[in-house]
Structure 1
Amino acid sequence: MRSNKKAVVVGANGIIGGNLIAHLVELGDWDIVGLSRSGGYSKGRLKHIVVDLLDAADAKAKLASLTDVTHIFYAAYQDRPSWAELVAPNLAMLVNVVNAIEPIAPNLEHISLMQGYKVYGAHLGPFKTPARETDANHMPPEFNIDQQDFLEALQKGKAWTWSALRPSVVIGFALGNPMNLASVIAVYASMSKELGIPLRFPGKPGAYNSLLEMTDAGLLARATIFIATNPQCGNQAFNINNGDLFRWSELWPKIAEYFRLDVAPPLPMSLNVIMADKEKLWDRMVKKHSLLPTPYSDVSAWGFGDFVFGWDYDFFADGTKLRRAGFHDYIDTEAMFLRVFDDLKTRKIIP
């Protein structure tokens, strides 16, 4: 028996969108449409549409057939050099996809917006911890807030609801993604081993002892569906995290042990700079270890690593609101990292 649930996943090839699609496929009672600029493999109840969401006309034309959509899951992101420059494209993509689908989908039930701790100013410097959904907004520019304002205004008087999801750093498998910390660590460690040097934490000195949390991509996918399909969660924001806290000073030696590396004292350095000349080394490793022939630019995002390893302040939020709503999954963060490293090895991405 087929259900009448049809999901549109915007940003289908990222860590968040890809893992969400995998979860929806596993559930078995959803029709799924993935939207992206590069497309993907369609099979069974999953199909992909190639669309430029920065082009309102292209979005309207490509999405005109989606009249039976019940849920929109928005997890797209366009990177730009500055915070101010992020606003226009990231707001436009959400506006264009919602304006293309919402007027033609009479059975629309929910629009899920993926945000993050930028809403709390976490990217700007030390912020109030634990951050809570009720915390006041900070000085703009901030595209996450503009996106939520758009949905809130559009929803007034409508039957459908929205949600704003706020994970920490999302950990999972995805290549060519600008925010993939697990690959940053795995490739950095693999190269350290190839060069016969110990594993050093490359971030700011204070970052080694800051209190942090992460969000497993699978847990995030399950939480996303829970929120989107439970009416009590409508028109609200939710922090989503693994449920535990850690410090790199405790986790880093365990990562080194996983890769069979010694640990040396931290040494502040920009990965974006120090790893810029390592493409030839990577290509040699691919050949030597018979790895999947993956371009160096796709296996790691050094700038994002610098960003995360630069947090010399506590970085965590209160996740109890979602648990009070009825979602009780949790993930051990150390085990999560090791599982993703295992996955990267199985896929022959790293030795």
Structure 2
Amino acid sequence: MQRKIIVTGSHGVIGRAAAIRLAGQTDAKVYGLARRTEPAIPGVEAISVDLTRPDQVRDAVAGIRDVTHVVFGAYIEKQTAAEKSELNVAILRNLMDAVEETSPNLRHVTFYQGGKAYGADLGPFKTPAREDDPRLMPPNFYYDQEDHLRERQRGKDWAFTALRPEAVCGFAVGNPMNLSMVIAVYAAISKELGIPLRFPGTEAAYRALYQVTSADILAEAADWAGRTPAARNEIFNITNGDYFRWQHMWPKIARMFGMDWADPVPTPLTTYMTDKGPLWDRMVAKYGLQPIVYEKIASWAFGDFIFNSGFDNISSTIKARQAGFHACIDTEYMFEGLFRRLRDDRIIPPLP
């Protein structure tokens, strides 16, 4: 039976990878819902829609009908936790209202949570984090979206799966939480300035245990969750499967760019990188890069958050493995492949 799949946030780092993965399956027809429809994603029918507008969402979904799967990768940043929760639950509700109205055979909804479910944004937390760890003080939009879906699907045939990655790394421009783009652009600018690649965060973060999630691994998990009975109404941590310390990874990243490295110095990226737009424009012209607006190419605030987390960040992936999901990737290999792809797509200058 063919799957008809809606992927929201299809130009973000998570949604884009999911759309590409699903569009490559012979039994799937994929519709990518996002505010913007460019650049095109091969095999994905792009639909421009503002998820905050129920009328637009209804019109968009009415043109699809008979949706079997939803992959909800949309996210809207807001200043306060309460505002963030209210708006991100609203956009999920708007989509589900429209889908349930036109798609009686809906089978599965995948959505995403993350380290904030364990308090990774607040300070040191229990590690390894497990899916059955108790909740934190609300508001938290992860919990609120989950509660909305649990209530909504009561007595219905469709199920949901929540996936919890950490620091997703992939290819997307203008995405607020894409660590690989932060590192790549920071390294390219450092190299252009003729300075060594310094870890810009704290000594504690440099030495703490950390983990990341490849967008491709996460996309594979979304595909798996939509097909697998063991994933029905469950939450799974999804990471690369290994752990590392920046003190060991950073020299390897420097070598990938053909650079020297030096001891870490806390250097707030939101202070020191926001004036580099003119330099980046010159680099675009010099190396024939894609003319992407500098302000949209990386989120320095996200980089500061990651590089100043001076405590272990470890999640257990045993539950996913016991349920049958075994995909993993060596993080060093992931970084190397992503940087080469950014080079090949002319997002960053040539590598050695």
Which secondary structure does the structure 2 equivalent of 1:31 belong to?
A: strand
The Cα of 1:214 is off from its aligned counterpart by 0.7
Percent identity for Structure 1 against Structure 2: 46
Matching residue within 124, 127, 130 for 2:125: 127
Output one character per residue of 1:236-295: Cα deviation in whole Å (capped at 9) or x when no partner.
101101110000000001111111211111111210111111111101111111212221
Contact 2:82–2:140, Cα closer than 8 Å, also in 1: yes
Which position in structure 1 is the counterpart of 2:178? 180
Contact 1:30–1:45, Cα closer than 8 Å, also in 2: no
Matching residue within 316, 319, 328 for 1:318: 316
Output one character per residue of 1:99-121: Cα deviation in whole Å (capped at 9) or x when no partner.
11113211100011111111111
CA distance in 1 between counterparts of 2:111 and 2:41 reads 26
Contact 1:172–1:340, Cα closer than 8 Å, also in 2: yes
Which position in structure 1 is the counterpart of 2:214? 216
CA distance in 2 between counterparts of 1:45 and 1:348 reads 22
Matching residue within 48, 52, 55 for 1:54: 52
CA distance in 1 between counterparts of 2:208 and 2:83 reads 29
Matching residue within 295, 298, 301 for 1:297: 295
Output one character per residue of 1:120-176: Cα deviation in whole Å (capped at 9) or x when no partner.
111111111111010111001110100000000011100111111101111111111
The Cα of 1:327 is off from its aligned counterpart by 1.3
Change in 2 beyond 3 A, CA 1:196/1:74: same
Contact 1:162–1:235, Cα closer than 8 Å, also in 2: yes
The Cα of 1:187 is off from its aligned counterpart by 0.8
Which position in structure 2 is the counterpart of 1:202? 200
Contact 1:201–1:252, Cα closer than 8 Å, also in 2: yes
Structure 2: which 5+ runs fail to align? none
CA distance in 2 between counterparts of 1:198 and 1:212 reads 23
Which secondary structure does the structure 2 equivalent of 1:63 belong to?
A: helix
> Which is further off, 163-172 or 49-58?
49-58
Which position in structure 2 is the counterpart of 1:68? 66
CA distance in 1 between counterparts of 2:2 and 2:86 reads 34
The Cα of 1:298 is off from its aligned counterpart by 2.1
Contact 1:244–1:333, Cα closer than 8 Å, also in 2: yes
Work out the number of aligned pairs and report it. 349
The Cα of 1:62 is off from its aligned counterpart by 2.2
Change in 2 beyond 3 A, CA 1:235/1:262: same
Output one character per residue of 1:312-341: Cα deviation in whole Å (capped at 9) or x when no partner.
011121001111111111100011011100
The residue identity in structure 2 corresponding to 1:253 is P
The Cα of 1:82 is off from its aligned counterpart by 3.0
CA distance in 1 between counterparts of 2:252 and 2:23 reads 34
Q: Map 1:184-333 onto structure 2 (within 5 A).
A: 184-333=182-331
Contact 1:11–1:74, Cα closer than 8 Å, also in 2: yes
Matching residue within 142, 145, 155 for 2:143: 145
The residue identity in structure 1 corresponding to 2:196 is P
CA distance in 2 between counterparts of 1:146 and 1:66 reads 27
Which secondary structure does the structure 2 equivalent of 1:164 belong to?
A: strand
Which secondary structure does the structure 2 equivalent of 1:313 belong to?
A: coil
Question: TM-score of the superposition, structure 2-length normalised?
Answer: 0.96
Which position in structure 1 is the counterpart of 2:155? 157
Matching residue within 163, 166, 178 for 2:164: 166
Which aligned runs of 4 or more in structure 1 are off by greater than 6 angstroms? 41-44
> Which is further off, 222-231 or 54-63?
54-63
Which position in structure 2 is the counterpart of 1:35? 33
CA distance in 2 between counterparts of 1:259 and 1:232 reads 42
